[in-house]
């Protein structure tokens, strides 16, 4: 028998996300229960648990009471698992043992003529002395006991025997209306519940004796036979030291509006109606960051990746070069492809593994339509991402589209303005029968800002911003009026004619 992950340490489940939820894994030499409907992934979790043991040269035992060893091995091969290091005790209904009369008390072998189930298991365990045992499903033993009292007594004896042999035990349960598994939940040292619906699979730990754990329901998915678990994002658990500095946009007039730029580790909402330049403004900060060698990522929920690249290239934003150098990544999120937990996990990977400094969600409405969850929950998820980014010293840009093209001014349609440290707004204007655009700052928590509105323009030279529009009133209504007669705003022409 090998020492399990060193004395006093946790026993890994073999799944990184589950270990994180369990604050490191199972406590050694205890019994844990995984329950759920058929097809939720119970046996797969057990297989991961055993394979982690084989990776550490531990002795592991799979006691299969329902599915045959042959089927389990075939399924494992199809998933690409190497299970040669797993010992099996095949007590499935197709085996010779279950063809015998097993109506007697399985924990009293001396009272029967035939070899009991207990003796079969005890003999293998004493011979193998396994570090890990997986019983799938333990509730199959219920059918061999004369009543519930005897079943509970037998299971307790079974657990005590395995603990005495130094094993950490995981077993599955089949919870049915006629035969609920409440008694097993009381007897086990920990309980993991797996559920699924038409869109999402969820994992929840409801009990873990002797240890704390992460509450709540955590999203997971099964990819190519492997279980990938995405723990709920808890911002307070993440943080690092970072420089308290300002991130400029590289456009002098925009930086003047922001009194230097956006502070690192803040969340900024860039809001306005369709076609006004919100995404382009966000990418301008990324373009400047790329010049410093910093990496940024855009998650686009509404616009296609290639369309975004083409549009940026046409206004002198070299996103193709940025993508090639690795200072920018653009990921197009398909509708209903990800859960909120999985999306947050991707953001974490970018920040923690790739060193990403700026993350843009383009946009908030698309996020809510593309990610699983109800409206209120997703607002909380965005809030958690923002808090996480702040703790990590990374900058979050949230693109918000308002419904009104002109008319009464509104910050957001989605009620998320409270999430932002900064709010940058863009407006369509109608001036003298011509469509123009304006930009301004509505909110900045960490510093003061310029309280004027400037004209905003996009052309083949990029973003162009004019002087403060002090000669106009009614700008926020979308139909401004000159105070002292018409005045020129941004002149047409190239950079040499600007401003």
Q: Give percent of the chain above pLDDT 90.
A: 58
> What DSSP character marks residue 231?
P
Confidence of residue 408 (pLDDT cuts 50, 70, 90): low
* Rounded mean pLDDT, 375-397: 91
Structure-block tokens of residue 105: 């008390």
- Pick the closest to residue 334 from 372, 382, 375, 286 (CA basis): 372
Asked whether the beta carbons of 38 and 198 are under 8 A apart, the reply is no
- pLDDT in the model for residue 471: 80
Peptide bond into 137 cis (omega under 30): yes
- pLDDT in the model for residue 181: 82
Structure-block tokens of residue 162: 């395995």
Distance in angstroms (rounded) separating the CA atoms of residues 65 and 94: 10
SS3 259: coil
SS3 395: strand
Higher pLDDT, residue 90 or 177: 90
Min mean pLDDT across 149-153, 311-315, 439-443, 494-498 is at: 494-498
* Helical H segments across 354-483, by residue range: 364-370, 375-392
- Angle among Cα 483, 489, 494 to the nearest 5 degrees reads 175
Would 16-232 and 246-497 be classified into the same CATH topology? yes
Distance in angstroms (rounded) separating the CA atoms of residues 318 and 421: 28
Note the maximum CA span of the chain. Answer: 109
Distance in angstroms (rounded) separating the CA atoms of residues 486 and 499: 17
Within 10 angstroms of residue 71's Cβ, the number of other Cβ atoms is 13
- pLDDT in the model for residue 256: 96
- pLDDT in the model for residue 142: 76
Is 3.30.1360.20 the CATH number for 246-497?
no
Confidence of residue 376 (pLDDT cuts 50, 70, 90): low
**pLDDT beyond 80 at 432:** no
* Rounded mean pLDDT, 421-444: 90
* Rounded mean pLDDT, 409-438: 81
- Pick the closest to residue 194 from 209, 172, 211 (CA basis): 172
pLDDT in tens, 115-146: 467 778 888 888 999 999 999 988 887 777 77
pLDDT in tens, 52-81: 999 999 999 999 988 899 999 998 988 889
- Pick the closest to residue 439 from 213, 267, 272 (CA basis): 272
Distance in angstroms (rounded) separating the CA atoms of residues 52 and 56: 7
- pLDDT in the model for residue 9: 86
**Phi, psi at residue 200, to the nearest 5°?**
-140, 145
- pLDDT in the model for residue 343: 95
**pLDDT beyond 60 at 96:** no
Residue whose token pair is 């130094």:
166
pLDDT in tens, 296-332: 999 999 899 999 999 999 999 999 999 999 999 999 9
**What does the domain layout of the chain look like in residue ranges?**
16-232, 246-497
Separation in Å, CA 310 to CA 278, 279, 305, 315, 398: 16, 13, 9, 9, 21
- pLDDT in the model for residue 478: 64
- Angle among Cα 228, 35, 207 to the nearest 5 degrees reads 90
Asked whether the beta carbons of 97 and 81 are under 8 A apart, the reply is no
Confidence of residue 106 (pLDDT cuts 50, 70, 90): very low
Regarding the domain with residue range 16-232, which homologous superfamily does it belong to in the CATH classification? P-loop containing nucleotide triphosphate hydrolases (3.40.50.300)
Higher pLDDT, residue 80 or 214: 214
């Amino acid at each position: 028998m090998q020492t399990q992950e060193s004395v006093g340490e946790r026993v890994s489940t073999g799944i990184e996300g589950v270990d994180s939820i369990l604050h490191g894994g199972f406590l050694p030499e205890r019994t844990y229960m995984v329950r759920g409907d058929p097809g939720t992934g119970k046996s797969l979790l057990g297989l991961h648990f055993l394979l982690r043991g084989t990776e550490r040269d531990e002795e592991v035992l799979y006691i299969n009471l329902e599915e045959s060893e042959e089927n389990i091995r075939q399924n494992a091969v199809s998933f690409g698992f190497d299970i040669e290091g797993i010992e099996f005790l095949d007590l499935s209904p197709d085996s010779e043992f279950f063809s015998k009369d097993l109506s007697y008390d399985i924990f009293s072998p001396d009272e029967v003529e035939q070899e009991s189930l207990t003796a079969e298991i005890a003999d293998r365990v004493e011979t193998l002395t396994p570090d890990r045992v997986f019983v799938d499903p333990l509730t199959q033993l219920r059918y061999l006991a004369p009543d519930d009292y005897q079943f509970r007594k037998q299971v307790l004896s079974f657990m005590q025997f395995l603990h005495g042999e130094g094993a950490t035990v995981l077993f599955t349960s089949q919870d049915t209306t006629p035969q609920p598994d409440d008694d097993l939940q009381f007897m086990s040292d920990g309980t993991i519940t797996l559920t699924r619906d038409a869109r999402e699979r969820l994992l929840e730990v409801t009990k873990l004796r002797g240890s704390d754990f992460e509450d709540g329901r955590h999203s997971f998915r099964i990819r190519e036979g492997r279980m990938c678990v995405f723990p709920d994002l808890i911002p307070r658990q993440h943080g690092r030291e970072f420089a308290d500095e300002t991130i400029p946009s590289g456009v002098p007039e925009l930086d003047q509006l922001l009194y230097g730029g956006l502070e690192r580790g803040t969340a900024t909402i860039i809001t306005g109606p369709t076609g006004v330049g919100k995404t382009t403004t966000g990418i301008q900060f990324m373009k400047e960051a790329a010049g410093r060698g910093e990496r940024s990522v855009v998650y686009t929920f509404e616009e296609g990746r290639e369309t975004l690249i083409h549009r940026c290239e046409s206004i002198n934003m070299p996103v193709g070069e940025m993508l090639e150098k690795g200072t920018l990544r653009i990921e197009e999120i398909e509708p209903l492809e990800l859960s909120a937990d999985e999306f947050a996990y991707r953001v974490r990977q970018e920040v923690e593994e790739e060193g990403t400094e700026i993350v843009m969600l383009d946009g908030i409405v698309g996020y809510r339509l593309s990610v699983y969850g109800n409206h209120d929950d997703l607002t909380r998820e965005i809030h958690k991402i923002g808090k996480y980014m702040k703790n990590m010293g990374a900058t979050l840009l949230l693109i918000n589209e308002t419904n009104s093209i002109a008319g009464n001014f509104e910050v957001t349609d989605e009620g998320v303005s409270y999430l932002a440290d900064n709010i940058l707004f863009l407006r369509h204007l109608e001036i003298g029968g011509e469509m123009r655009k304006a930009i301004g700052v509505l909110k900045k928590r960490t510093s003061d800002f310029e309280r004027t509105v400037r004209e905003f323009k996009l052309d083949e030279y990029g973003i162009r911003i004019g002087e403060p529009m002090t000669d106009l009133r009614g700008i926020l209504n979308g139909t401004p009026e000159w105070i002292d007669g018409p005045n020129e705003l941004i002149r047409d022409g190239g950079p040499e004619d600007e401003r």
